[in-house]
Structure 1
Amino acid sequence: MKQKSQPKGMYILAFTEVFERLSYYTLSFLLVLYASATVENKGLGWSNERALALVGLYTMAAYTLPILGSFIADRFIGRYKAVILGGFVIILGHFLLFFSDYSNFFYIGLACVASGTGFFKPCMPALLGQLYSPDDLRRESGFSWYYFGINLGAMIAGISSGLLLQHFGFRVALASAGVGMIFGMIVFFAGRKHLVLDKVIRKSKHDEKNHQPITRKQKKALISLLIAFVFFAIWAIIYNIAISGTLTLFIENQTNKTLFNYNIPATFFQSLESLTIISSTPVITYFLAKMALRNKYPHFFTQMNFALLLCSISLFYFSYLAYIGQNSLTGEKPFQYYEIAFFIILFSVSETVISPVMMSAISLIAPMKLKSLFQAFYLATFGLTGIIAAKIGAISLEFPFKTFLTLSFILLIGTVLYFFLKGKMIKTAMEAAKEQAALHYGSKK
């Protein structure tokens, strides 16, 4: 039996997301370097701790504002228009960042990018989920390809921001992603005919399916989803430490980055994360498709368990590197570029699995009228854990071995606990999915 190809709307959304993530990660990669660089080097001259706090605050804003953005989208303007509005505000923010020498423009620009993300980010996966019926096996592969687009944008951001910083300085590098965002919004608008354009959710006799009361089975499934959120939050703390400001400072200040007499920009290492995800996504989706044809497709909660285990292994590896580094007597930088690269690759495979799985789970389990809101909570998890990660990251710069070893054991214990919980979680999720299929699409039980 041949599997159907993906809907064209998936490619439109994934391509648009490339440029939104180019915007976000350009700032995410550069902020800690800009804030911690000396004034003589056109930076803000802040301490590492204060620079990490800025990154944490920006991350929190960019990932918690989607709660408000999704509410406005669902209740007032619709998801499609919310994406258009968010894209415009992001573009405005980047052009204001070109004048970052003036502190007011810098902070207003950051606020615009974070606010635009609040409208843009939760509505894109919600629009993607609308392209599939609840029993469509293409759903998780579609979200994996969408996540491919996210990481293509992040990879480009790591390379372009590093090169622009080397040759043109912080102002041009910070503002550059606005140009790409313009192109992305043109593609999104041009491809709107391939999307399922939603209507604003209002109480109406003619639109009762979005206002059905939440059933008992759906409530049980939501509890399972919230449990998954708890474990995802633990993973997200590691993500914000490993792939955000803390690791950037480790790479910039404590890693030998010289390769063939070339000093590798720190942001290039962040591109390695995205390159790993881009490379592994087709492989993972291929095997998932093969397993689906054999009726052996692993449930998304099972896939999440594997991701948590892999993340735990990567943390133990970094703890080992930190232990070797703190006992080094050479006086040189304790980390080598290839050691950091291997850690990023190992961790990134866990990300390849867990992030699209969470988006897919939300699109399937969350009630129709709450899908954008739950996607916003998914994003808010990154934001709220970003503040926690900034605090832990500052400690890890001083005590790397103890900090990462502690995190390793916490995640390992969580992985084992999740293993014993996931059976019940899978059962409730499947029951709710069948009920939603019957309720919203007229499927037979």
Structure 2
Amino acid sequence: MSQITKEQIVESVPQKGFFGHPKGLFTLFFTEFWERFSYYGMRAILLFYMYYEVTKGGLGISESTALSIMSIYGALVYMSGVIGGWLADRLFGTSKAVFYGGILIMFGHIVLAMPGGATALFISMGLIVLGTGLLKPNVSSVVGDLYSSDDIRRDSGFSIFYMGINMGGFLSPLIVGEIGLKYNFHLGFSIAAVGMFFGLVMFLVTKKKNLGLAGTQIANPMKPEERKRFMLITLAAVVVLGILIFISIPRGWLTFDSFIGLVGILGFLIPFSYFIVMYRSKKTTSDEKSRILAYIPLFLAAVMFWSIAEQGSTILALYADKRTNLDVFGFHISPAWFQSLNPLFIIVLAPVFAWLWIKMGKRQPTIPQKFSFGILFAGLSFIVILLPAYFGGADTLVNPLWLALSIFIAVLGELCLSPVGLSATTKLAPAAFSAQTMSLWFLSNAAAQALNAQLVKFYSAETEMMYFGIIGGVAIALSLILFALSPFISKFMKGVH
């Protein structure tokens, strides 16, 4: 395809039609709504499916192993975004990457909807990891294509798009959780598959009319000889990997624990390599190198925050199922429903935080200070959830309001850190590595969940208070250290506020 300009792409998109925004935002809003509906719906019941007894429709995996699998799964989903972004830039274009990713995700849910035991579980995970890596980072890129660089609607458009993500995340645990836990896990997973199918249909039916040329441009297309070499290298890598797995598993070299360890190493090695490459590049100016150094403590703070926040689908999901009184006022609460609280609180509070930062103007906290508040709230959310055991003992069922309060406090931290982190990443990124630095930001979540795969092994009914207390205490201590270092970090940001 011949190179087309940004102006030509914008001109090809109908610019009015969805709350005053380009019509393409309608397509992408509902594509991502259904993709998140399918993912968060599946995630809401996946842990329970793994550790519930076979007689209850589960796989009978131990709780500790199921928790580690969930964490590794989340880490791989975020790591795959780096590959998905690269494939879109070099081979497909972002629009095709979204479509191919949606197909893989749908088939992943279909596999999980069929009773195939642990084999089906891992095949499904592989498909969804690859599919999410293709779809998630690239659908956001297509949103950016809808607007010119100076379009004042741009930030508002991304806010509307972000609302679609959280609406899907809010509704799916309520529906999939209820059906999956009350009737049949596989029926619940099939609803997740249907959700992704709706997203694909929405994308296909409205794409041509609403998106124009958005997402069709391949940023850095491969030359024919490069494409041939890439295919050969990929084929060789798959063959070598297959041989290594075939040899390693029978000899006991590749075990579940060793795989967790490998992903844990990659979770930190990959972003560390990114930092080294960007800092040493000749394309990075001296001011940009200083900003990279400022970004490192922010990245580590994000890892600490996401380590706690992402335990909402692991430790806190187990807590909801095992430790929470689910019968209140004659009404039974599904443990999966608690996973709807995070997106619900974000939908309600995000506009409040956006207004607050505008209202404070130049008096608002600096970026490092906002990050310190983020991990402070995350730490406090874990301190809150240990209080019921401290006051009432570890054997009594806990009022569900304690769990809701813990999730609410964590969301306060998320709104201090997550949107600010996205904004800071675009500001601090070296010009030559702007897209890759955004991938680096998402790798903070991958590193956090790779870390969690090790941490969750220490959780049990006996260690509950110590588990929440130590992790929460470490987060609070780090928040105080980061706040104290904030002026020093701000100097390294070279004028970025």
How much has 1:59 moved relative to structure 2? Answer: 1.3
The 1:185/1:164 distance shift into structure 2, 3 A limit, reads same
CA distance in 2 between counterparts of 1:188 and 1:222 reads: 37
The 1:358/1:213 distance shift into structure 2, 3 A limit, reads same
Instruction: Find out whether 1:341 has 2:360 as its counterpart.
Output: no
Instruction: Find out whether 1:247 has 2:324 as its counterpart.
Output: no
User: Which one-letter code corresponds to 2:220 in the other structure?
Assistant: I
The 1:12/1:82 distance shift into structure 2, 3 A limit, reads same
- 1:389 maps to which residue? 452
How much has 1:258 moved relative to structure 2? Answer: 0.7
The 1:223/1:13 distance shift into structure 2, 3 A limit, reads farther
How much has 1:282 moved relative to structure 2? Answer: 2.0
The 1:216/1:136 distance shift into structure 2, 3 A limit, reads farther
User: Which one-letter code corresponds to 1:25 in the other structure?
Assistant: Y
How much has 1:321 moved relative to structure 2? Answer: 2.8
Instruction: Find out whether 1:74 has 2:92 as its counterpart.
Output: no
The more displaced of 147-156 and 403-412 is: 147-156
How much has 1:401 moved relative to structure 2? Answer: 1.2
CA distance in 1 between counterparts of 2:414 and 2:79 reads: 20
| Equivalent residue for 2:384, pick from 317, 321, 324 | 317
* Partner deviation per Cα, 1:173-216 (whole Å, 9 max, x = no partner): 11212222233344445242495765322599xxxxxx992322
CA distance in 2 between counterparts of 1:266 and 1:124 reads: 31
| Equivalent residue for 1:33, pick from 48, 67, 70 | 48
| Equivalent residue for 2:437, pick from 374, 377, 387 | 374
CA-based RMSD: 3.1
* Secondary structure, aligned partner of 2:459: helix
Task: Give yes or no for contact 1:101–1:171 (8 Å, CA) kept in 2.
Answer: no
The 1:198/1:396 distance shift into structure 2, 3 A limit, reads same
Instruction: Find out whether 1:268 has 2:283 as its counterpart.
Output: no
User: Which one-letter code corresponds to 2:333 in the other structure?
Assistant: I
Q: Which runs of 5+ in 2 are unaligned?
A: 1-18, 224-280
Q: Which runs of 5+ in 1 are unaligned?
A: 205-210, 434-445
- 2:259 maps to which residue? none
How much has 1:100 moved relative to structure 2? Answer: 3.2
Instruction: Find out whether 1:332 has 2:396 as its counterpart.
Output: yes
The 1:106/1:18 distance shift into structure 2, 3 A limit, reads same
* Partner deviation per Cα, 1:250-295 (whole Å, 9 max, x = no partner): 1111111112222211011111121111111122223334455xx5
- 1:256 maps to which residue? 325
The 1:76/1:361 distance shift into structure 2, 3 A limit, reads farther
User: Which one-letter code corresponds to 1:379 in the other structure?
Assistant: F
TM-score for both structures, normalised by structure 1: 0.83
The 1:104/1:46 distance shift into structure 2, 3 A limit, reads closer
CA distance in 2 between counterparts of 1:15 and 1:220 reads: 40
Task: Give yes or no for contact 2:95–2:138 (8 Å, CA) kept in 1.
Answer: yes
TM-score for both structures, normalised by structure 2: 0.75
The 1:7/1:217 distance shift into structure 2, 3 A limit, reads farther
How much has 1:14 moved relative to structure 2? Answer: 4.3
CA distance in 2 between counterparts of 1:384 and 1:95 reads: 28
Identity of aligned residues (%): 27
| Equivalent residue for 2:425, pick from 359, 362, 369 | 362
CA distance in 2 between counterparts of 1:300 and 1:131 reads: 28
* Secondary structure, aligned partner of 2:58: coil
- 1:420 maps to which residue? 484
How much has 1:136 moved relative to structure 2? Answer: 8.1
CA distance in 1 between counterparts of 2:415 and 2:102 reads: 25
Task: Give yes or no for contact 1:57–1:386 (8 Å, CA) kept in 2.
Answer: yes
* Partner deviation per Cα, 1:290-324 (whole Å, 9 max, x = no partner): 455xx556554443232222223222222323322
- 2:373 maps to which residue? 306
CA distance in 2 between counterparts of 1:14 and 1:324 reads: 45
The 1:75/1:421 distance shift into structure 2, 3 A limit, reads farther
The 1:105/1:48 distance shift into structure 2, 3 A limit, reads closer
CA distance in 2 between counterparts of 1:198 and 1:425 reads: 38
| Equivalent residue for 2:475, pick from 399, 411, 436 | 411
The 1:194/1:275 distance shift into structure 2, 3 A limit, reads farther
- 1:207 maps to which residue? none
The 1:272/1:425 distance shift into structure 2, 3 A limit, reads same
How much has 1:137 moved relative to structure 2? Answer: 8.1
The more displaced of 367-376 and 41-50 is: 367-376
Task: Give yes or no for contact 2:95–2:215 (8 Å, CA) kept in 1.
Answer: no
Instruction: Find out whether 1:217 has 2:232 as its counterpart.
Output: no
| Equivalent residue for 2:172, pick from 154, 157, 170 | 157
How much has 1:340 moved relative to structure 2? Answer: 1.1
How much has 1:400 moved relative to structure 2? Answer: 1.4
* Secondary structure, aligned partner of 1:237: helix
| Paired residues for 1:424-439 under 5 Å | 424-429=488-493, 431=495
CA distance in 2 between counterparts of 1:156 and 1:324 reads: 34
The 1:355/1:124 distance shift into structure 2, 3 A limit, reads farther
CA distance in 2 between counterparts of 1:72 and 1:112 reads: 16
User: Which one-letter code corresponds to 2:352 in the other structure?
Assistant: V
CA distance in 2 between counterparts of 1:402 and 1:255 reads: 18
Task: Give yes or no for contact 1:143–1:360 (8 Å, CA) kept in 2.
Answer: no
Task: Give yes or no for contact 1:66–1:118 (8 Å, CA) kept in 2.
Answer: yes
* Partner deviation per Cα, 1:381-414 (whole Å, 9 max, x = no partner): 3233223223323323231111211112211121
- 1:119 maps to which residue? 134
CA distance in 2 between counterparts of 1:302 and 1:127 reads: 32
Task: Give yes or no for contact 2:88–2:218 (8 Å, CA) kept in 1.
Answer: no
User: Which one-letter code corresponds to 1:256 in the other structure?
Assistant: N
Task: Give yes or no for contact 2:50–2:59 (8 Å, CA) kept in 1.
Answer: yes
Task: Give yes or no for contact 1:10–1:146 (8 Å, CA) kept in 2.
Answer: yes
How much has 1:76 moved relative to structure 2? Answer: 2.7
How much has 1:44 moved relative to structure 2? Answer: 0.3
The 1:322/1:332 distance shift into structure 2, 3 A limit, reads closer
- 1:170 maps to which residue? 185
User: Which one-letter code corresponds to 1:90 in the other structure?
Assistant: I
The more displaced of 302-311 and 262-271 is: 302-311
> What is the number of residues matched between the two proteins?
416
* Secondary structure, aligned partner of 1:256: coil
CA distance in 1 between counterparts of 2:364 and 2:157 reads: 15
| Equivalent residue for 1:84, pick from 93, 99, 121 | 99
